[in-house]
Amino acid sequence: MSDELRDKQLRRVRELGLRRQWQQALELLAELQESGVRIDAVTSTATMWACVKSEQWEHSLRLFEDMRPRLRLETVSCNAALCSYAQGGRWEEALQLFREMCESSPPPDIVSCTATINACVAQRQGAAALEVHGAMLRGGLAPTPAALDAAVRSCGTPHWREQLQLLKDMRQRGFQPEADTYDAAVLNCADAQQWAAALHLLGEMWKSAMSPKVETLAAAISACQRGGQWQEALHLFDVMEKQGQWSLAAARAALRACDDGHQPERAKSLLQDIWHRATPDSACYAAAISCCEGSQEWGEVLALFEEMRDYGLTPDISTYQAVQAAFVATGAWRKSLDLLEEMKAEGAEPPMSVLGTAAHACANQGQWQQVLQLLSDARQKGMRPDLDLYKASLRAASDGRKWETALQLLQDGQASAIRGAMSTSLSLFGRWKELETSNIYIVTTPEEPMLHFLTVVNNPAKDDRRDFEINLGSEGGIQLIPLSHKDTTGTDTPSTLFLDTTVPGRLIWYSYTTGKHKTWQNMLQVWNTTIVQVMCEAEETTLRLVLRKLTGEIIAKVRVQPGASWRDARKLMVPGLRPLLSKKLAFVSPLGEVLTRAHDERLLADILGCGGKPEVDRDAWRRFQ
């Protein structure tokens, strides 16, 4: 082929490329290659662009791979490849080529940046798009609206902050973001639970006379609800309806907002409105039922549940729990048990949370046998009873006079929650009534400060005074060891105290020696608490405790060793506090910590922040003869 004919044919290929006749251009290019004609970069690039403009990105990339090893690439050729990568969603290859252009040659231009960012849009590769955007700014290239818009749409939820900044940059440069761009940003903010940012973007859209998509508004309503802004969620739902827009997802989120805000009437109205537009799903009914439960509208809970079942909807666990709570409140223990059987018949094994509530429904109506049967069934299935089931079982054992069962429950290795509650909330001091005898007991500390680890029980009617040493018993019980005194001849045996968690302020005394039990009920008294501030002053090798009232008035000063415990300090404080012993005192450290018997073993220096921890025999004073 003569040079003149070759040049003519090459010009023909370029003309076909410019006219987007990519098929003819490829065919002529193939004939020239078979004839041994060397295809130059300009001709190949023109053919690539013809393919790009016709969205034939695979043909374009084949041409690029063919020319890449044998021709010196120009920016325009690389741009055609970058656009092809974008059409094919091959963002990784586009980013790699862009990086090569930045590091060597040819240098990228604004088309290169825009094409690479577009390659990141489909796969939501925000980090890659932001990298290209940063390189564009560092290279002194002025971002175009298309480049910024693509960068915004590339950002996913993790880059919602950068997305908002890009939108701000667009507006500052005088560019108006498209509605789709705003929609994408609102969805990201909603997914990131940034309800305030989502509402701000919606405001920008309405200000610019744009209409957000239905799914965008639904996501924003859900974000407000999940962010605890139930009023904003309902207001936005109202705005949505006024604009003639509606979706089941938005209505579902509004129902959850009603639940959060305890708006049962609005929830029921919303549910009825859904029926005029679509078919409510289980989540809609679950939100409405939960809302009525929170407002203690038990009749509505049960009515909605029956309606839900009539329409063939499957309740979730939260709905079953709400219905069981309604049965507890209405005393319908039989229906509570029937519901458990219905769940089993439907192939849904009742979870522990539902079993516990059913047990309370039975326990409240004195059906202690049913409660213990529920506990037995749960254990046979290998389920770990929770605190609610244990509490109901304890109450059932008490009602049925099954004291051995009650003690087994309290000693059960799985009842760690009960033992923890007992060890932290049990206080022996105060007035108690023994339910079996109606005797009144006053539990106080003894007069002798050295015996603070003893409890003195005094029955005023019988002038009965007994001292017990308090020890931590097995399985979380509190052991009361009776002590002999010269003025008493009692034959007390060691007793273990257990907290009956089903009734506030109730204790059970049980003697393993005699097998007998006693039930004590705390008698509430109202006291005026006097706050004592405990501060310290360092004195060479000792500490001086300074006890002050809130007014700043000094009550007393006491010298103690730095290695003393809070228990040691309390017995030394008694003489200085005698004028106040008739009142209930609350001791507060310089750090604002209320000091209780739970601090007994802690070093005083640690509590007060005074430093100094010499080694001492902290248990020497406890030796009682």
* pLDDT tens digit sequence for 235-259: 999 999 999 999 999 999 999 999 8
The pair of structure tokens assigned to 85 is 């990568």
Binning pLDDT at 50, 70 and 90, where does residue 447 land?
A: very low
Contact status, residue 501 vs residue 419, Cβ threshold 8 Å: no
Please report, for residues 1, 127, 422, 500, the alpha-carbon distance to residue 410 in angstroms, rounded to integers and kept in the order given: 102, 56, 10, 9
DSSP-assigned beta bridge partners for residue 431: 442, 523
pLDDT confidence bin for 7, thresholds 50/70/90:
low
Q: What is the pLDDT of residues 277-332, one digit of tens each?
A: 999 999 999 999 999 988 889 999 999 999 999 999 989 988 998 999 899 889 99
pLDDT tens for residues 94-137? 999 999 999 887 889 999 999 999 999 878 888 999 999 999 99
584-588 and 529-539: which strand pairing? parallel
Phi, psi of 305 (to 5 degrees): -65, -45
pLDDT above 70 coverage of the chain, percent: 74
Dist. CA 535–CA 548, nearest whole Å:
8
566 within some domain = yes
Domain assignment present for residue 21? The answer is no
353 inside domain: no
Core vs surface per residue 182-199: b (16+ CB within 10 A) or e: bbbbbbbbbbbebbebbb
Say how many domains are in the chain: 1
Per-residue pLDDT for 465 more than 90? no
pLDDT exceeds cutoff 70 at 170 = yes
What digits encode the pLDDT tens for the residues 557-599?
777 776 778 888 877 777 667 667 666 677 777 655 667 777 7
Residue 620's DSSP bridge partners are none
In a domain, 325, yes or no: no
Q: Which of 79, 2, 70 is nearest to 46 (CA)?
A: 79
**530 within domain boundaries:** yes
Distance, CA of 214 to CA of 600 (rounded, Å)? 62
pLDDT at 622 over 60: no
What number of other Cβ atoms are within 10 A of residue 238's Cβ? 11
Q: How far is it, in rounded angstroms, from Cα 496 to Cα 473?
A: 7
The pair phi, psi for residue 434, each rounded to 5°, is -85, 115
| Residue spans of beta strands (DSSP E) within 237-309 | none
The burial of 440, by beta-carbon neighbours within 10 Å (0-12 exposed, 13-18 middle, 19 or more buried), is given as middle
Q: Which pLDDT band, with edges at 50, 70 and 90, does 483 fall under?
A: low
List, in sequence order, the alpha helices (H) in 139-208. Answer: 145-154, 160-172, 179-191, 195-207
End-to-end Cα spacing for the chain: 124
Average pLDDT over residues 370-374: 93
For residue 603 the two structure tokens come to 């070093």
Q: How far is CA 177 from the centre of its chain?
A: 35
How many C-beta neighbours within 10 Å does residue 549 have?
13
How far is the C-alpha of 395 from the C-alpha of 519, rounded, in Å? 13
Q: Would you list the DSSP string of 82-93? A: HHHHHHHT-HHH
What does each C-alpha distance from 54 to 30, 87, 119, 597 come to in angstroms?
19, 11, 17, 83
Task: For the chain, give the number of residues.
Answer: 625
Q: How confident is the model at residue 156 (pLDDT cuts 50, 70, 90)?
A: confident
395 burial via Cβ count (<10 Å: 0-12, 13-18, 19+): buried
Contacts of 44 (CB under 8 A, 6+ apart): 29, 63, 64, 66, 67, 71, 77
Q: What is the pLDDT of residue 113?
A: 94
Q: Write the DSSP symbol of residue 483.
A: -
The DSSP line for 109-122 is -HHHHHHHHHHHHT
**DSSP annotation string for 51-75:** HHHTT-HHHHHHHHHHHTTTS---H
Picking from 241, 204, 243, 236, the residue whose alpha carbon sits closest to that of residue 220 is: 236
Is 523 inside a domain boundary? yes
- Condensed to tens digits (0 to 9), the pLDDT of residues 513-551 reads 677 778 887 764 434 456 777 877 665 556 777 777 655
Is 505 within the bounds of a domain? yes
Instruction: Give the C-alpha separation, 160 to 215, whole Å.
Output: 18
Cis status of the peptide bond prior to 108, with omega within 30 of 0: no
Structural domain containing residue 547: 494-572
pTM higher than 0.75 for the full model?
Answer: no
- What the block records as the tokens of 63 is 């041409």
Residue 577 lies in a domain: no
